Chain A
């Protein structure tokens, strides 16, 4: 029995091996690019995502699929995107686990990022360990940059204190601002921005006369505002998040606190921010950012696209354009690499430059979006529009100084 079956086996085995090896060279039939995203869809962190990354990410996926997909040479055709989203419940532990689920179990081709700086922090090493590209979106910080130097697969997109604050400080010098009252959120964002501001202001001879922190969801900002008022500082800066900045603005109006400059790092760039107060009220209010529909024709397209799909609440005139540009860059990198292989695409992303809605776009040697590609750093509400005022070469309008006093209160109905 054994001898009889032996010789046919001798024939069959090499045939099987040949077939096996032959098929190994041809990529298996593939008809979609599977993109996975673990992001906060519930809990306190979800707020940042809904107006921030979600609209451009949605428009990008839909736009790509409307064209039939991304052309990937390795498969010789356009592959549409299939987008999976998981809710990390605003919990870092869940985020890390879900990212690994996407990578190990769902075997996604690419990842879209979680939102908010601390979540990017948590995701970065994990993603890098598995050799997957992480293209950042909402979030960014100077200490993150330090961490990212050693993580070749992580690309940081949004701008933050290191490009925004020096320009702000220079502008203060140009305006003759000598004193600043600062409040900051007890959070990485607040701490970093205020530290950076302290040093940049000091370098230029601007004195910080008040420095008070506040916790997240601080119930009452009036003690801080009253303390700032007493110092009679030329400028008031708040390095904090939208909720806190809304409350600060609201109470500043009520208390009649009118510094020559009123700056809120996160929040003023949104249309819903304007709607809480009315455009006339926030005339002259400054904030971190920035882009608007006048930045470029491509920016206008994005603006209109978001309004059509999400309404005004989807507009974030700080990050939307950054994320949008980065996603187009990503798309072109995949096309150029001709493959879905992470390493090859990563290498293309690290070295190449592409035309995107941001103009000519590339990442610097630390894989941060190059400063030259930023559509703007600081914005201001001027005549009912959010304008980019800094840097000068990207400005869409001339800044106004000093901020006009808050107008007399409107009657009870809007």
Chain B
């Protein structure tokens, strides 16, 4: 019995690690840069595929790929924001209008990125085996690659938290999140900071993608389902709260694990039920403002 509980809890955490990373990324993009990025999952997919390609062609260790894919996707995200979303922001009459149009623009991006991925890598499923052996933890067995994923998710999350709390740039980001106008007055280059936030959000997605590629098969259409999960987690944790998103990811992972134990067919349904119930009961989420 204890083993079963351990099993469920750890499985939930393993899943939750990935959820947390993508949710933090999404939260950065929405909470600070005010873009509801429907194409978030596509950045994750890109990270996953580039990692796969590096592993297959050059034999690069996926964990090392974190350092390669990450910056690439960060730059792509940064540039996208500087060109497309800044343009939208400056030409929108209100925040509401901007949120709407940026969401739709990101939808267009989804189409573009997915088609490009299909053209480059084809439509079939890809995967590779990395650290695919079991580790015995107190009687329950877990895949080593998933444990490593969890470790990295926590480390990245912690590192990011420190970045936000301690560094100059991090404080600028937090200022911009709280009140962009005032932050601008205080000498923060708003455009740069927001673009950086968006890029960092994409970076998180890319990290998530690399880690996922270690444990799961990947295909070009995989992105959207993770975007949805990011949305659910962000609502769970509170729109705008990065720490909330991080914790929320683990909570959702646990929920999924518990439901899967009983009835795997209902795991996704449970996510959505939780989602709509939460929105009705406490839309601001666990740690929301």
Contacts and interface: CB of A to CB of B under 8 A. Distances in A.
Direct contact of A and B (CB under 8 A): yes
Interface of A: 42-44, 46-47, 50-51, 183, 186, 212-215, 217-224, 226, 242-243, 246-247, 250-251, 253-256, 270, 272, 276-278, 281, 313, 408-410, 412-414
A251 B126 CA distance: 15
A47 B7 contact: no
A114 to B, nearest CB: 15
A4 B222 CA distance: 79
B15 A219 contact: yes
Ranked nearest first, the 8 interchain pairs of A and B with the lowest CB-CB distance are: A254-B143, A409-B133, A276-B127, A246-B217, A213-B265, A223-B260, A47-B123, A214-B264
B106 interface: no
A217 B225 contact: yes
Interface in B101-127: 114-115, 118, 122-127
A183 B263 CA distance: 11
Nearest to B222: A217
B187 interface: no
B123 A276 contact: no
Q: Which of B128, B129, B130, B131 has the most CB of A within 10 A?
A: B129
Q: Which of A224, A247, A254, A414 has the most CB of B within 10 A?
A: A254
A50 B124 contact: yes
A220 B128 contact: no
22 contacts: A46-B123, A50-B122, A214-B264, A215-B267, A218-B264, A219-B256, A220-B11, A222-B143, A223-B260, A223-B261, A224-B260, A250-B129, A250-B217, A254-B132, A254-B143, A256-B133, A270-B124, A277-B129, A313-B122, A313-B124, A408-B133, A409-B132
Contact of A43 (B55, B56, B221, B265): B221
Nearest to B268: A215
Contact of A254 (B114, B145, B265): B145
A247 B265 contact: no
B217 A281 contact: no
B219 interface: yes
Contacts of A243: 125, 217, 219
Given A42-B115, A224-B264, A255 B123 contact: no
Contacts of A183: 264
Given A219-B15, A409-B129, A414-B59, A247 B123 contact: no
Given A214-B265, A219-B256, A224-B264, A276 B131 contact: no
Contact of B127 (A223, A250, A255): A250
Contacts of B222: 217
A47 B130 contact: no
Nearest to B12: A220
A226 B264 CA distance: 12
Interface in B219-245: 219, 221-222, 225
B161 interface: no
Contact of A47 (B124, B127, B265): B124
B20 interface: no
Contacts of B260: 220, 223-224
Interface of B: 7-8, 11, 15, 55-56, 59, 61, 114-115, 118, 122-134, 141-146, 215-217, 219, 221-222, 225, 256-257, 260-261, 263-265, 267-268
Given A254-B144, A412-B131, A223 B217 contact: no
A246 B129 CA distance: 11
A223 B264 contact: yes
Q: Which of B8, B128, B222, B264 has the most CB of A within 10 A?
A: B264
Q: Which of B56, B115, B118, B260 has the most CB of A within 10 A?
A: B260
Contacts of A256: 133-134, 141
A272 B225 CA distance: 23
B63 to A, nearest CB: 9
B184 to A, nearest CB: 41
A117 to B, nearest CB: 18
A272 B123 CA distance: 12
Contacts of B114: 42
Given A256-B134, A272-B125, A414-B128, A215 B217 contact: no
Contact of B141 (A215, A255, A281, A412): A255
Contacts of A254: 132-134, 141-146
Contact of A212 (B55, B144, B264): B264
Contacts of A250: 127, 129, 132, 215-217
A213 B264 contact: yes
Contacts of B55: 414
A42 B144 CA distance: 34
Given A212-B264, A223-B261, A47 B133 contact: no
Contacts of A51: 124
Q: Which of A217, A223, A276, A412 has the most CB of B within 10 A?
A: A223
Nearest to B262: A223
B118 A276 contact: no
A242 B260 CA distance: 20
Contacts of B264: 183, 212-215, 218, 221, 223-224
Given A46-B123, A272-B125, A413-B59, A218 B132 contact: no
Given A212-B264, A220-B260, A253 B219 contact: no
B265 A215 contact: yes
B123 A246 contact: no
B16 to A, nearest CB: 11
Contacts of A255: 134, 141-143
